[in-house]
């Protein structure tokens, strides 16, 4: 078996869920578990998050997989449906669609179906999914007959930024268009529900913070009181005794500034570790700090253990988790933690603790 593994700590997940639940106040909580629960394993998370009011996935396929695995919680499909056939699946599997475009409104009208709940999405400035104001009002009038309950939603483009002017403009747009329209409201992702109480409304939709990770560039999840749910581990499979001036790895990027021990770790970009991580990215080897030394390759990466290290082949290496924040690795790789978590490949075993 390949030695790299993602250990999933369900107690940490429950801790984060409770923290977010408390922060949400009276709002209902939709736990966002799309993209295989941000790489953590959608089925395990769905089985653990039984106290969520609803789960959210991106696609019908994800929703159907959860239903087939026996998940009975309300399931929101964030991209909704794109054909009459998918709409039938929504109905038969009791999935809740987000309606974000006019072609979906038309498919619903043609079907004559009545659904228990429909989420209607307003485009307020992100220009990704969502109906523009006028189409939204028209859809609202029509869909009122086809749903027992409507939830009016939007999504923020910059909620994690300390300057909330874009978010405030989106809130103003939402409130202006939705004034007087029947339906409950859902605006907030993790960053908004955490830092902007006025966005909590009736339903909040946290994703990244459930996993113990901060959406804010200046703060880690741990600083916010969260616990990382994933520990990404591998092991040392070889050690090189290098001399000052020796060069390590493809492109010879790393040059040893002293005689040192270089550890070879069984994880690379073929497992999802970022190839663009810079020299100096932290790791822990049997609990001792070490740093990336050289460009990660497909199946391996190299770390500077230091001349006095006693680490041996077989030592456990933490790439991220309790000792190395995934937010820190993301910064060293010029990306965001969301991407690192989602891009782990099938070669990494996901083990639940």
Ligand X SMILES: Cc1ncc(COP(=O)(O)O)c(C=O)c1O
Q: Which residues are catalytic?
A: 34, 250
* Residue 32 engages ligand X in binding (rule: CB under 6 A): yes
Q: Which is nearer to ligand X, 188 or 265 (CB)?
A: 188
* Per-residue contact string for residues 204-233; x = within reach of ligand X by CB under 6 A: -xxxx------x------------------
Nearer to ligand X, 34 or 233 (CB): 34
Site for ligand X in 50-109 (CB under 6 A): 78
Look up tokens 């690192």; give the residue. 340
Burial 55-68 (b: 16+ CB within 10 A, else e): bbbbbbebbbbbbe
- Shortest Å, Cβ 304 to ligand X: 34
Under rule CB under 6 A, residue 41 binds ligand X: no
- Sole binder of ligand X in the list 5, 21, 23, 155 (CB under 6 A): 155
Phi-psi bin for 252: left (phi > 0), alpha (psi -120 to 50), beta? left
Contact characters 254-293, ligand X, x per CB under 6 A: ----------------------------------------
Residue 101 DSSP label = S
Smallest gap from residue 34 Cβ to ligand X (A):
7
Contact 105, 99 (CB under 8 A): yes
Supply the minimum distance, in Å, between the C-beta of residue 190 and ligand X: 3
Q: Are 199 and 188 in contact (CB under 8 A)?
A: yes
DSSP 243-267: PTT-EESGGG-EE-SSSEEEEEES-
What tokens does 199 get? 């966005």
Confirm or reject binding of residue 170 to ligand X (CB under 6 A). Answer: no
| Closest to 337 (Cα-Cα) out of 350, 349, 327 | 327
Q: How far apart are CA 197 and CA 208, in angstroms?
A: 18
Which residue's CB is nearer to ligand X, number 87 or number 213?
A: 213
- Closer residue to ligand X (CB): 22 or 257: 22
Reduced to 3 states, what is the DSSP secondary structure of residue 179?
coil
CA 65, CA 84: separation in Å to the nearest integer? 19
Q: Nearest distance from residue 108's CB to ligand X, in Å?
A: 19
The nearest distance, CB 181 to ligand X, in angstroms, is 19
Q: CB-wise, 32 or 344, nearer to ligand X?
A: 32
Binding site for ligand X (CB under 6 A): 32, 78, 155, 189-191, 205-208, 215
């Amino acid at each position: 078996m390949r030695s790299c593994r993602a250990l999933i700590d369900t107690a940490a997940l429950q801790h984060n869920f409770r923290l977010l639940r408390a922060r949400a106040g009276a709002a209902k909580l939709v736990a966002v578990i799309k993209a295989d629960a941000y790489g953590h394993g959608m089925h395990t998370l769905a089985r653990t998050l039984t106290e969520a009011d609803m789960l959210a996935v991106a696609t019908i396929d994800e929703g159907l997989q959860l239903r087939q695995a026996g998940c009975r919680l309300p399931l929101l499909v964030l991209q909704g449906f794109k054909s009459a056939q998918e709409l039938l699946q929504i109905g038969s599997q009791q999935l809740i669609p987000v309606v974000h475009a006019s072609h979906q409104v038309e498919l619903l009208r043609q079907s004559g179906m009545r659904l228990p709940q429909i989420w209607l999405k307003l485009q307020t400035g992100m220009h990704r999914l969502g109906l523009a104001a006028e189409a939204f009002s028209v859809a609202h009038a029509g869909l009122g007959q086809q749903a027992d309950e409507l939830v009016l939603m939007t999504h923020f483009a910059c909620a994690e930024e300390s300057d909330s002017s874009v978010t405030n403009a989106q809130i103003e747009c939402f409130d202006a268009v939705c004034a007087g329209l029947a339906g409950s409201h859902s605006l907030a992702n993790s960053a908004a529900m955490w830092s902007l109480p006025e966005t909590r409304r009736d339903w909040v939709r946290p994703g990244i913070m459930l996993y113990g990770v901060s959406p804010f560039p200046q703060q880690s999840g741990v600083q916010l009181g969260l616990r990382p749910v994933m520990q990404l581990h591998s092991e040392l499979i070889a050690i090189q005794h290098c001399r000052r001036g020796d060069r390590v790895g493809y492109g010879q990027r790393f040059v040893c500034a002293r005689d040192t021990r270089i550890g070879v770790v069984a994880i690379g970009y073929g497992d999802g570790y970022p190839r663009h991580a810079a020299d100096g990215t932290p790791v822990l080897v049997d609990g001792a700090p070490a740093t990336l030394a050289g460009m990660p390759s497909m199946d391996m990466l190299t770390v500077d253990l230091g001349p006095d290290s006693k680490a041996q082949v077989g030592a456990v290496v933490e790439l991220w988790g309790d000792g190395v924040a995934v937010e820190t690795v993301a910064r060293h790789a010029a990306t965001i933690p969301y991407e690192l978590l989602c891009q782990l490949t099938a070669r990494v075993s996901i083990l639940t603790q």
